[in-house]
Amino acid sequence: MKAIPLACAILCLATFVLAQQQGRDAAGMNPFFTKYDTPFETPPFHLIKYEHYMPAFQKGTEEQKREIDAIVGDPQPPTFHNTIEAFERSGLLLDRVSNVFYSLQGANTSDEIQKIANEVAPVLAKHRDDINLHEKLFQRVKSVHGQRTRLGLNAEQSKLLVDMYKGFVRGGANLPSDKKERFRKINEELSLLGVKFDENVLKETNSFKLAIEKKEDLDGLPPNVIDGAAGAAKKAGLEGKWVFTVHKPSMIPFLQYATNRALREKLLSAYISRGDRNNEYDNKTVIATMASLRVERAHLLGYKTHADFVEEKNMSKTPSAVYTFLNKLWKPALKNAKKERDEMQVLIRKEGGTFKLEPWDWWYYAEKVRKAKYDLDENELRPYFLLDNVRKGAFEVARRLYGLQFVERNDIPKYIDEVTVFEVKRRDGSHVGILYTDYFPRPGKQAGAWCGGYRGQERRGDVMTTPLVTNVGNFSRPTGEKPALLSPDEVRTLFHEFGHALHALLQNQTYRTLSVPGDFVELPSQIMENWAFHPQVLELYARHYKTGDVIPQALVDKIEKSAKFNQGFITVEYLSACFLDMNWHSLANSDQVDANAFEKKSLDKIQLIPEIVVRYRSPYFSHIWSAGGGYDAGYYYYIWAAVLDADAFEAFKEKGLFDQTTARAFLEYVLEKGATDEAMKQYEKFRGKKPSIEPLLKRRGLL
């Protein structure tokens, strides 16, 4: 493996030392070093400057080191309180600056932030390893862990103790000294490669623009899409033209409606070739190196593959269980996708086409089939999906289920004007937390949608630290005189991320470091999608942006009838990415592979049809390679949780959409529980039984 050049290391150290000195000179003005003088101690974005980050990272690591020194220097025998709880409470300043910095790196990055990210990545990797490989600290944790059966701990304390002990072991604590050094080097390299991957994807995404000059090339596109493209062109200094990008709110409508087949191909090809153009932003070597390093690290820790390492801590437990689950879904999904393909090929021939359906044709002809079979045009729906109303609809669902109120706050600092901030309250007016929503694409924002936060919930005795949660998306912007009108997929995504936000807002645990298993974390988000298009909920928020009229029953009926439409494509596109992820992380040999050859072999093995492109090709598969991804050997989480959410929603369908007894049970055993107990145990307490896969298969028309 290629080591970081000595000259580079010296330069990084010099830069870091300079930043420390600058930070000391301005210590009195660094907002991270004092209690925030803002409502609910929210981050003072108006005061935070680029030069504040490195000094804050440095002071944060130093403080945590001192806290750990105090733990290991305690002359008293190790106990749960003086070791486990004391370590769990350490590192608050580091958490504070990290939460702000990495949230902004995803949602509103800049060249300065990316530079800091590269500087701090190896520093934080070293700091984490210094903790995980701290022999005296581990011995104290190990001592308490050995006494756990006779300590009288409650379920949450027991889980913290076991998770912490396993965390040290998985972090290399049991490795011999020579292997510890290699382990450190691997973690350092992976941290830098993750940042590099993110930079490349962002630059590739922002670099492509399809500039259209001829009006006839806009044939088939709805007026709102044309208006949006004209606005994008004006912003790019190309007034009088129309610009489309590979950001999905721009790309997908073009693929759905543009009659110009060559331009559809050009746009989709630009999207799927990101990171694979053999240019300065190419990611193939980056990901091949990351995969190799992950295999080597797994071997050091005694695991056959990185997937074995990951699944051990999930509900699935083994890669074999994941593959068995995916294969159970793959066969019926692929069968449905082939039917959909054949149906579209017949339509092409009916229209006089002599060409074979290609990936850039799928959205276009699927939309035609939807129109023919269900008389439903997505553009009929958009006028009823005003962004503000959709958000209010999600809020109303939360009010009816859990008694929550969302009050907009204009006195809380924001990192950009497009952000809207809400205080979340209970029925009695008591404070729950803060929710930031940031919904529109821009050059400094990573693609996709996610839920994050600036502070997690925790309790110290009777003192509750309330959460500061973010929902970030890349939805359709306002165009011309029209407000932001969402596509059905964007509506679904808004509800999905809001479900994550509810989980973060409502959890009620003592320890902030306890985390939910990856294949359980998507349950609260995906169950919320069930309410998005339910007729009772559409009545609450789906109103025409001009007239205020409630969505007509005829359109609601069409939505329900078309619910299983294109599910073969949707499921196959997604599952193929799950297989690709698992295959990358089931490598048992640390030799670097050819990324494109590996991907092709992986997709050929499952017989992915050529008319469908895997949802995320390897060079831009951020879920599994990004510095902040966390879904490596875990992209299947969504479909695993879909089994849970389909089964869980059956309980609401049986008792009533807003049945309070069912809602209280879901709140108590899923949302509030956080990570305080075993995930499946929590689910079974809510549902009264193990989950069944049949509701998911039925929902997707796969039975």
Cα within 13 Å of Cα(614), Cβ side? 25
The answer to whether residues 293 and 1 touch, using CB atoms and an 8 Å cutoff, is yes
Report pLDDT for 701: 82
Please state, in angstroms and rounded to a whole number, the distance separating the CA atoms of residues 347 and 323: 35
The answer to whether residues 102 and 121 touch, using CB atoms and an 8 Å cutoff, is no
The answer to whether residues 547 and 585 touch, using CB atoms and an 8 Å cutoff, is no
Mean pLDDT of all residues in 160-171: 96
Please state, in angstroms and rounded to a whole number, the distance separating the CA atoms of residues 389 and 550: 11
Q: Report whether pLDDT(460) > 60.
A: yes
Q: For residue 366, what are its two tokens?
A: 């699927």
Residue 482's alpha-carbon distances to 23, 492, 546, in angstroms, are 46, 21, 9
All structural domains of the chain: 6-174 (1.10.1370.40), 208-272 (no CATH), 382-508+517-561+636-699 (1.10.1370.40)
Q: For residue 701, what are its two tokens?
A: 């028309």
Please state, in angstroms and rounded to a whole number, the distance separating the CA atoms of residues 413 and 135: 42
Alpha-carbon torsion angle 584, 586, 590, 596, nearest 10: -20
| Tens-digit pLDDT profile for residues 138-158 | 999 999 999 999 999 999 999
The answer to whether residues 311 and 317 touch, using CB atoms and an 8 Å cutoff, is yes
In total, the chain counts a number of residues equal to 703
How many CB atoms within 10 Å of residue 183? 20
Give yes or no: 497 in active site. Answer: yes
| Tens-digit pLDDT profile for residues 665-698 | 999 999 998 888 888 889 999 999 988 888 888 8
Contacts of 400 (CB under 8 A, 6+ apart): 658
Q: Residue 263: which pLDDT band, with cuts at 50, 70 and 90?
A: very high
Flag the least confident range among 19-23, 131-135, 484-488, 506-510: 19-23
The CA-to-CA distance between both ends of the chain, in Å, stands at: 48
Quick one: what percent of the chain has pLDDT higher than 70?
A: 96
Element (DSSP H or E) covering residue 416 = none
**What is the Cα Rg of the chain in Å?**
26
Report pLDDT for 567: 94
* Amino acid identity for residue 639 in this structure: I
How many CB atoms within 10 Å of residue 150? 7
List beta partners, residue 196.
Answer: none
Ramachandran region, residue 45 (left: φ > 0; alpha: ψ -120 to 50; beta: rest):
alpha
The runs of H, that is alpha helices, within 562-594 are 567-584
The answer to whether residues 621 and 194 touch, using CB atoms and an 8 Å cutoff, is no
| Tens-digit pLDDT profile for residues 104-126 | 999 999 999 999 999 999 999 99
Q: Which of these, 170, 269, 314, 203, lies nearest to 633 by C-alpha position?
A: 314
Mean pLDDT of all residues in 314-335: 94
Strand 431-438 to 468-472 pairing: parallel
Element (DSSP H or E) covering residue 213 = none
The answer to whether residues 700 and 571 touch, using CB atoms and an 8 Å cutoff, is yes
Report pLDDT for 28: 58
Element (DSSP H or E) covering residue 31 = none
Residue 421: phi, psi to the nearest 5? -115, 135
Tokens 């733990």, residue? Answer: 71
* One-character DSSP codes across 475-537: PPPPBTTB--B--HHHHHHHHHHHHHHHHHHH---S-TT----TTTTTHHHHHHHHHHT-HHH
Report pLDDT for 200: 97
Q: For residue 534, what are its two tokens?
A: 């339910």
Flag the least confident range among 15-29, 97-111, 432-446, 511-525: 15-29
Mean pLDDT of the chain: 93
The answer to whether residues 565 and 370 touch, using CB atoms and an 8 Å cutoff, is yes
List beta partners, residue 437.
Answer: 420, 471
Q: Report whether pLDDT(581) > 90.
A: yes
Residue 356's alpha-carbon distances to 84, 336, 342, in angstroms, are 63, 18, 10
At residue 455's C-alpha, the angle toward residues 452 and 461, to 5°, is 140
Burial bucket for residue 197 (CB in 10 Å: 0-12, 13-18, 19+): buried
SS3 at position 438: strand
Flag the least confident range among 16-25, 394-403, 471-480: 16-25
Flag the least confident range among 169-183, 193-207, 456-470, 685-699: 685-699
Given the residues 497, 522, 529, 611, select the one marked as catalytic: 497
